[in-house]
Structure 1
């Protein structure tokens, strides 16, 4: 199971440590932060104790309105479950009671100047990616006109060269050789690099090139949502016909199914152009448009006239 330490959160978001330094090695295993509410009145049946607990102005103001005994009871009831950490937002200062409890229990108490909404949005996004199930696959990842594509095929078939052509046409490069896939949701697959290969593209006969240095920052992006799986394959005579519409196929990664297309290679064939066409066609289908249906409709209308 993937985990993130509280120390990592502190460094990532530049949080101020107020108490509980001994607990910085504690781990977070769930992706979304929690704002205690019902827990302050003693209801703990569904308390997500393994999530980061965020205390905004609403929570702190409520606690400050309680008398000392009630405040200690409410905070003590939550602290005894030993959540990974508490994070106070908006730079709030009147929290000595929190410092005392967290120091005693070794639970990190951190503070940010960001508002609650802004901070939770960033924190949840970071944790979702950091804790997402992932796998590595041999291939190339590109973003074509805003559409994330995974290029696959045997070694030496031309995946990197095709990606290079797409980059020169204004599209964006994400990863070469090793593509890291992360499952962010039931139908959401993210493609990224493994940091070591970030920005590098390997071209046979040329060697490594740094895409950003050669083509500028706009030629690269760190990650993209994968919506098409395109496999480059050797040409097979009589294998392809001029079909009105190819029978849909898909591939599954980490339980997420995405459309699969096979593009056969032949000297002179504009593979990059075919990938652009596949990306644009996928986008039109999301809008409800089918070229095959449109074509058949025209034929039917012509026959009826």
Structure 2
């Protein structure tokens, strides 16, 4: 579920100057789209998208400045609809007195930045899209192994955190332990991070909570990572047939997106850290078009066919 975004969040994020409307900074922004009024300033208000944050740059303010005094006042009063969450002025340009008066009258905060309009638009759009992106939280561990985002899932006590600790000792990086916050980013990619409260922390039964960054350094952690695949750890079941060739492609669905999933049975004597390292390397090779299992099956088929011909 996307989090709530207020005008105050934007002011704090981009260090915007408050021109007026401090009491209205709690206005909630409902959409990530921004709007630069053009037709509205010319007097056409039929399709004015008042739910969007409004941006005024050099072109808009120059047009407003050149309007006759009476027309400027009337136009800006119509422009400042009470449903507008806020108005942002770019390039540190002066704000017309008529705009401030109309904004105060209709309860609209006016903010200003010294950034260029295109630059501010890009940064603000990216920020809002991240805020409004679909999110979910899963129980598991996220680690960066050879550049691949690997989520470890499984029952409580199966050894996810201990395996993550071993991977960190082997030079890989921890992203999240216990709770992984997953966001659907632009391009339909899944990105994982840790809740602020438990960031950089690992819970190891018998030891308690440890701070990975304090013990292993800043190079042992990262704040966010795109998720490549999932490894599900489960207790070894003697009566279950596990994939021995790597041809069975399991999938897991998260936020309506499918990710490859590998089921790894756990039993004494298996070095899970090495298995996960090899799984990450093998997944990368598959992405590059080299599938060892398929090549083996093809070679086996060719061998059988040649023997049948003899």
Does the pair score TM above 0.5? yes
Distance 1:293 1:43 in 2: 63
Cα pair 2:141 2:160 within 8 Å, conserved: yes
SS at match of 1:174: strand
TM (norm. structure 1) is 0.87
Moved more, 137-146 or 120-129: 120-129
Q: C-alpha displacement at 1:4, in angstroms?
A: 1.1
Cα pair 2:56 2:88 within 8 Å, conserved: yes
Distance 1:263 1:88 in 2: 55
* Aligned counterpart, 1:269: 270
* Aligned counterpart, 1:183: 184
Distance 2:102 2:75 in 1: 11
Q: C-alpha displacement at 1:27, in angstroms?
A: 0.6
- Summarize the alignment of residues 98-113 of structure 1 with structure 2, pairs less than 5 Å apart: 98-113=99-114
Distance 2:298 2:49 in 1: 55
Distance 1:104 1:134 in 2: 37
Cα pair 2:82 2:106 within 8 Å, conserved: no
Q: C-alpha displacement at 1:206, in angstroms?
A: 1.6
1:236 corresponds to 2:237: yes
Moved more, 286-295 or 1-10: 286-295
Cα pair 1:251 1:259 within 8 Å, conserved: yes
Moved more, 202-211 or 293-302: 293-302
Query: How many residues are aligned here?
Result: 303
Moved more, 44-53 or 132-141: 44-53
* Distance change >3 Å, CA 46–CA 145, structure 1 → 2: farther
SS at match of 2:210: strand
Distance 1:17 1:242 in 2: 63
* Aligned counterpart, 1:95: 96
SS at match of 2:260: strand
* Aligned counterpart, 1:155: 156
* Aligned counterpart, 1:254: 255
1:210 corresponds to 2:216: no
* Aligned counterpart, 1:35: 36
Distance 1:149 1:49 in 2: 42
* Aligned counterpart, 1:83: 84
Structure 1 residues 132-191: Cα deviation after superposition (integer angstroms, max 9, x where no partner): 333222211122233222211111111001111221222221111122222335723221
Cα pair 1:22 1:107 within 8 Å, conserved: no
Unaligned runs of at least 5 residues, structure 1: none
Distance 1:73 1:247 in 2: 68
* Distance change >3 Å, CA 288–CA 75, structure 1 → 2: farther
Distance 2:288 2:75 in 1: 51
Distance 1:150 1:47 in 2: 45
RMSD: 2.6
Distance 2:37 2:156 in 1: 52
SS at match of 1:263: strand
* Aligned counterpart, 1:291: 292
* Distance change >3 Å, CA 171–CA 77, structure 1 → 2: farther
Larger radius of gyration: 2
Q: C-alpha displacement at 1:44, in angstroms?
A: 5.1
Cα pair 2:82 2:108 within 8 Å, conserved: no
* Aligned counterpart, 2:283: 282
Structure 1 residues 179-206: Cα deviation after superposition (integer angstroms, max 9, x where no partner): 2222335723221222111111111122
Distance 2:135 2:219 in 1: 26
Q: C-alpha displacement at 1:297, in angstroms?
A: 5.5
Distance 1:39 1:121 in 2: 22
* Aligned counterpart, 1:66: 67
Moved more, 223-232 or 177-186: 177-186
Distance 1:146 1:38 in 2: 48
* Distance change >3 Å, CA 106–CA 283, structure 1 → 2: same
